[in-house]
Amino acid sequence: MPKHILITGATSGFGLATARLFASEGWLVSGTGRRADRLEALHKELGDAFLPIPLDMRDREAVMKTLGDLPGDRHDVDVLLNNAGAALGLEPAQECSLDDWDTMVDTNIKGLLYATRAVLPGMVARNSGHIVMLGSIAGNYPYAGGNVYCGSKAFVKQFSLSLRADLLGTKVHVTNIEPGLAESEFSIVRFHGDTARAATVYEGTSPITPQDIAETVFWVTHRPAHININRVEIMPICQCPSGPLVKKGM
């Protein structure tokens, strides 16, 4: 019986690369996204290995109903990749769009909670499974303009670690993957479709690729059952953490 991974946000970037990698390794893959045309294209590419699930992760009722009761051989979820998410804007907090803030909270936090809550009872009942979160270095280090995005990823990190505590005594695994600079559609979304501005983010760098993250998801989910990878922080070699900033002259 092939294993089954459910990926939220499989239409682009990390989710898309992970869908391709796991399908190539013989897994059943189910993937959500709002762009149904892209899900359909992936279905054509991967064939019956892939189940497209057009879904907005912010829709609590639809997420609980759909992901909590997947059909046939997809019913049991071995791995949930909580990947759907976005950063919107890079303005200082006093200038940010409240709509952007709502969207980040509703997607990065609440959508992730709904998907987790939908699959977790089945995992606990079977005493097996793995929930992998796409956190970020933004949850570990603040940066100007990161405000709510950084806050949402700090939530993901702490929720992930707290889940481990709730699940102690079961064999359900939880991992938070925390990438740094990575090229996908992330910056295009952040800058509301401004591709030229998005390109400047990666100019002169060798960023993490979606394939790098897909391989990390594969690695954390293929460790011996008696261990749990709690967190994985990854940066490209051209990036590093840095200490507090000082503004002189004030």
From 62, 64, 86, 96, residue interacting with ligand NDP (rule: CB under 6 A):
86
Which residue, 73 or 194, has its beta carbon nearer to ligand NDP?
Answer: 194
From 102, 185, 212, 233, residue interacting with ligand NDP (rule: CB under 6 A):
185
Which residue, 130 or 157, has its beta carbon nearer to ligand 8X3?
Answer: 157
CB of 243 to ligand NDP, least distance (A): 21
CA 152 to chain centre: 12
* Interaction between residue 15 and ligand NDP (CB under 6 A): yes
Spatial distance between the Cα atoms of 117 and 191, rounded to a whole number of angstroms:
31
From 34, 110, 164, 197, residue interacting with ligand NDP (rule: CB under 6 A):
34
Spatial distance between the Cα atoms of 29 and 159, rounded to a whole number of angstroms:
25
Spatial distance between the Cα atoms of 201 and 204, rounded to a whole number of angstroms:
9
Q: How many CB atoms lie within 10 A of CB 217?
A: 26
Place of tokens 């992936």: 42
Residues that bind ligand 8X3 (CB under 6 A): 87, 136-138, 146, 180
Q: Are 242 and 144 in contact (CB under 8 A)?
A: no
* Interaction between residue 35 and ligand NDP (CB under 6 A): yes
Spatial distance between the Cα atoms of 130 and 208, rounded to a whole number of angstroms:
23
Q: Which positions lie near ligand NDP, rule CB under 6 A?
A: 9-15, 32-35, 56-58, 83-86, 107, 111, 134, 136, 179, 181-182, 184-186, 189
User: Mind telling me the catalytic residues?
Assistant: 149
